[in-house]
Structure 1
């Protein structure tokens, strides 16, 4: 899948971001996997990139605002279902 990523901790501007091919994750307990149809890059995303986050592992995938369809759920997910 394609994702907008921060490659390394030293990348601190929007010009440093790249689209990269990454593995499709498997949802774990209490998570849902969403096939994203649309995503937005909002002010929170770029402010976080500029400030850096010590807890991130790199490459870090960006994106807080998405719209799509649930294609998988982890154990313990009861409210959401595949197809929602």
Structure 2
């Protein structure tokens, strides 16, 4: 789900209570299929909106965790 939300263009279909996610990223295509796409191919996924709503608690937790990180990670000291 994280990759869909972060790297894909999304569109909601209210009448179907679903989302479609689309990318033209060759790197994302290769990660999924193991080969580079032809120039006119794209990668897409469809998911129920209920499933997307189900990840909200996880996203809230990640957002809270991220808010505690230093603003500039390149200057953060290693443990």
TM-score of the aligned structures, taking structure 1 as reference length: 0.27
Structure 1 or 2: more strand by fraction: 1
Structure 1 or 2: more helix by fraction: 2
Structure of larger gyration radius: 2
TM-score of the aligned structures, taking structure 2 as reference length: 0.28
Structure with larger RCO (C-alpha < 8 A, sep 6+): 1
